[in-house]
Structure 1
């Protein structure tokens, strides 16, 4: 089970402000593109002072980091709470499906914001760098969760490969989906694509019994 300590009130307020700024940045990037969007415009859209923006973020592209990271955090929390006795391959697929599932309108809006950001990142190297950094961080933080699920006898290299494959499965699925106008649910959804990618990438992994 997860042993992560709950956030303090100050930490929750900070995280909420960062996410508000990230959402404002994502909306403006999707509507106008990163080049035509300023930090001042993002701050105004989020309802914060420009100095508050720069207290949290170094650049306008960095501002979307919390939004992109939120999905990865949900994915890791699902694995942190998963039963180690269950087959690891099944656990990974369930976590991928649940993390990308459209549970409500907010989840659908989150995916649509991600699609807009990934489309904007196609022509903005700084925004792509944020996306890749978020994925790299997610992969590294996924290793402890998979180590717990795989057990103490698991080969660390195989655990690392599984973390990389799982992270890339979600990344490639979201990038592929963002290039289309496919809905957020159904056979062409991010969840369905991610499971397909996961199976392809982990097809020969002993750790997952494949």
Structure 2
């Protein structure tokens, strides 16, 4: 696989205000607390009050941001998708899509932060979600939102004549490749790096789902 060509996307919206950054930081603190408690005690053994206390915030602050305890994990789950889409956004238009997707997936799932925090948290949450429909619903919603955000990135990298159906199908397949890989990995004691790691399973899933797609030929 060749090295990626550097690409600097156009500047986005204005930087977040201090208030917005504080809000995001508080939400992430609550999400981390919820993930820790779910892993320790399971969703049934955890209350919103427990999460607020662990996060060091008032219960009213918890409910200002989240409707229920399961929703509290969404910011942390969404972080993985944000990371891999950001890596894909760095790819230069004209880079073969198959290379761009595989490179972004691999980098996001072998990044030190992902290995150190994200993957361990995801494994615990997915195990907890096995018996909690509300927690599974949050996981599926986060993946659906990530898929929708992926569409314009793929459209930017695809050939000018790529049709909407093909772009949407590739976005769905790429998202599901990562989702299924993480779900399968979470049921095992597999490593975070190397064979049978999330990155390895995700790349294998990506090839299985996308190799026959016209956009990647």
Q: Distance in 1 between matches of 2:211 and 2:159?
A: 20
Q: Distance in 1 between matches of 2:18 and 2:107?
A: 28
- Judging changes above 3 Å, is the alpha-carbon distance between structure 1 residues 132 and 2 closer, same or farther for their aligned structure 2 residues? farther
Gaps of 5+ in 2: 1-8
Calculate the TM-score normalised by the size of structure 1.
0.96
Pair 1:138 & 2:146 matched: yes
Shift in Å, 1:64: 0.2
- Judging changes above 3 Å, is the alpha-carbon distance between structure 1 residues 136 and 43 closer, same or farther for their aligned structure 2 residues? same
> After TM superposition, what 4+ stretches of structure 1 lie above 6 angstroms from structure 2?
none
SS at match of 2:45: coil
Pair 1:128 & 2:136 matched: yes
Partner in structure 1 of residue 32 of structure 2:
23
Gaps of 5+ in 1: none
CA RMSD of aligned residues (A): 1.1
Within-5 A mapping of 1:170-189: 170-189=178-197
Q: Distance in 1 between matches of 2:209 and 2:24?
A: 33
Partner in structure 2 of residue 54 of structure 1:
63
Q: How many residues of Structure 1 are paired with residues of Structure 2 in the alignment?
A: 208
Partner in structure 2 of residue 14 of structure 1:
23
Cα offsets for 1:20-39 (capped at 9, x unmatched): 10010001001101011000
Shift in Å, 1:2: 5.1
Within-5 A mapping of 1:189-200: 189-200=197-208
- Judging changes above 3 Å, is the alpha-carbon distance between structure 1 residues 102 and 81 closer, same or farther for their aligned structure 2 residues? closer
Moved more, 5-14 or 161-170: 5-14
Partner in structure 1 of residue 127 of structure 2:
119
- Judging changes above 3 Å, is the alpha-carbon distance between structure 1 residues 189 and 201 closer, same or farther for their aligned structure 2 residues? same
